[in-house]
């Protein structure tokens, strides 16, 4: 009991393959937990890989999408249209085992509401999705599915031998399961494909608590990364994958024709091969752009590497950047865009589809790329780099708009509505 006149704490259980690092699921689930805590809900965590405290978590290695058994299954169900009886049996056996661990998780922590985080959305771990679906069907426990990336949005899941399970569990249609999505296009497709309604809850930031200034650890970041005092630090805060459109950032820097401009890419390649990185290197050479890859200097936590060099977090980089480029051709929402706004940095944005439908109508001010760099974009960027008043007015305006549409109170209102509808609890 929290005290006289105050209700008992309720336990919420988050479920995913991984709660670790800086991926969208890990970051957004932590924000949900923070907002729920402010309403006196206690969050617990079930996953296969976790950086959450052990005292409030169940880490089941078989729930991780990188587990050898899951890798073995994925090699035999994607890219083909038939599966063997052995694959079917091992799918079922693993799902049954994971379902038993879910029962244990719920019992151990007294969970009253579950929040599957993308685990019923993208089938990187098919047995886990089946296990969650059957658990919810058997128990009737109220749950909120937080959908980030649906399988029909990824071409690698188009050809498969498990359409029966995708229809059943990604996501399921259950009376005790509410659905949330992060963009309007997903909301429309979920309704068309599955016949279920959903609540649109965008990604959020704590815009009521501005970020602190650089501290002693990151105060020398620019020089430590080899940037001179007069250099213009242009940050591309993404992984090196084709949908990030980094070639547009290279073209922009080339058009600026200023040798002080250094394009710095925060993360490395690898997820989808290295061909794209090699193409970017060649393009930068042709365009005369100094391109810096600092993926080996960026970590999920501050630490020192084996050579004694500082490793910085992504949030250490933003305060030192003069400009942020965000030329993505596709995003489920755009966390890096909100981060740049949060740190009051000017951003160059490509008009990807979700931006056009969900974000642009809110009234932000950015230099906008519409598939290619124009002289007008170049002119606006030059003003942002050279005119302090122009830059300050733009970033302050964007911060105010983001605080209105993408701050924690927006999330809090949505979660209160969902929980009241599912459970009858009042806040």
Ordered by start, the domain boundaries in the chain are: 10-204+408-423, 221-405
Structure tokens belonging to residue 353: 């589809």
Going from the C-alpha of 60 to that of each of 18, 63, 139, 314, the distances in angstroms are 10, 6, 21, 29
β-pairing, 41-47 vs 57-59, is parallel
* Phi, psi (rounded to 5 degrees) for 23: -70, 160
Look-up: residue for tokens 């105010």? 400
In this structure, are residues 348 and 324 in contact, taking their beta carbons and an 8 Å threshold? yes
Per-residue pLDDT of the chain (427 residues; tens, 9 = 90+): 333 334 468 999 999 999 998 788 998 999 999 999 998 899 999 999 999 999 999 999 999 999 999 999 999 999 999 999 999 999 999 999 999 999 999 999 999 999 999 999 999 999 999 999 999 999 999 999 999 999 999 889 999 999 999 999 999 999 999 999 999 999 999 999 999 999 999 999 999 998 888 999 999 999 999 999 999 999 999 999 999 999 999 999 999 999 999 999 999 886 567 899 999 999 999 999 999 999 999 998 899 999 999 999 999 999 999 999 999 998 888 889 999 999 999 999 999 999 999 999 999 999 999 989 999 999 999 999 999 999 999 999 999 999 999 999 999 999 999 999 998 876 6
Choices 3.40.50.2000, 3.40.50.300, 3.40.50.10800, 3.30.70.3340: CATH for 10-204+408-423: 3.40.50.2000
Choices 3.90.1150.180, 3.40.50.300, 3.40.50.2000, 3.40.350.10: CATH for 221-405: 3.40.50.2000
Look-up: residue for tokens 């942002």? 384
In this structure, are residues 327 and 241 in contact, taking their beta carbons and an 8 Å threshold? no
β-pairing, 232-236 vs 323-326, is parallel
221-405 matches 10-204+408-423 in CATH topology: yes
* Phi, psi (rounded to 5 degrees) for 63: -85, -5
Global pTM reads 0.88
Structure tokens belonging to residue 422: 């599912």
């Amino acid at each position: 009991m929290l005290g006289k006149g105050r209700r008992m704490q309720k336990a919420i259980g988050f479920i995913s393959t991984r709660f670790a690092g800086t991926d969208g699921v890990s970051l957004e689930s932590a924000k949900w937990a923070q907002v729920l805590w402010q309403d006196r809900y206690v969050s617990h965590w079930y996953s296969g890989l976790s950086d959450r405290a052990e005292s409030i978590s169940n880490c089941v290695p078989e729930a991780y999408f990188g587990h050898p058994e899951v890798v073995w299954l994925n090699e035999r169900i994607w890219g083909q249209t038939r599966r063997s009886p052995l694959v079917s049996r091992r799918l079922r056996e693993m799902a049954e085992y994971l379902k038993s661990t879910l029962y244990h998780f719920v019992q151990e922590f007294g969970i009253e509401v579950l929040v599957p985080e993308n685990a019923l959305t993208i089938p990187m771990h098919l047995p886990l999705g089946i296990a969650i679906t059957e658990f919810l069907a058997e128990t009737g426990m109220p749950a909120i599915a937080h959908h980030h990336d649906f399988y029909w949005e990824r071409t690698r899941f188009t050809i498969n031998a498990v359409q029966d399970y995708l229809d059943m569990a990604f996501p399921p249609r259950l009376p005790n399961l509410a659905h949330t999505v992060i963009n309007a296009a997903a909301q429309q497709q979920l309704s068309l494909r599955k016949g279920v309604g959903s609540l649109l809850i965008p990604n959020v930031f704590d815009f009521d608590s501005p970020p602190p200034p650089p501290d002693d650890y990151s105060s020398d970041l620019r020089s430590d990364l080899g940037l001179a005092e007069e250099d213009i630090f242009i940050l591309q805060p993404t992984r090196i994958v084709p949908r990030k459109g980094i070639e547009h950032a290279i073209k922009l820097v080339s058009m600026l024709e200023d040798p002080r401009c250094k394009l710095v890419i925060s993360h490395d390649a690898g997820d989808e091969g290295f061909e794209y990185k090699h193409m970017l290197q060649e393009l930068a050479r042709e365009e005369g752009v100094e391109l810096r890859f600092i993926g080996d200097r960026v970590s999920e936590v501050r630490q020192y590497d084996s050579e004694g060099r500082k490793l910085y977090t992504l949030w250490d980089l933003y305060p030192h950047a003069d400009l942020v480029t965000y030329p993505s051709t596709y995003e489920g929402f755009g966390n890096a865009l909100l981060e740049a706004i949060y740190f009051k940095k000017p951003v160059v944005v490509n008009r990807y589809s979700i931006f056009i439908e969900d974000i642009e109508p809110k009234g932000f001010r950015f230099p906008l790329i519409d598939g290619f760099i124009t002289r007008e974009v170049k002119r606006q960027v030059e003003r942002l780099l050279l005119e302090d008043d122009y830059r300050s007015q733009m970033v302050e305006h964007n911060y105010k708009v983001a605080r209105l549409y993408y701050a924690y109170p927006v999330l809090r209102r949505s979660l209160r509505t969902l929980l009241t509808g599912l459970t009858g609890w009042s806040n």
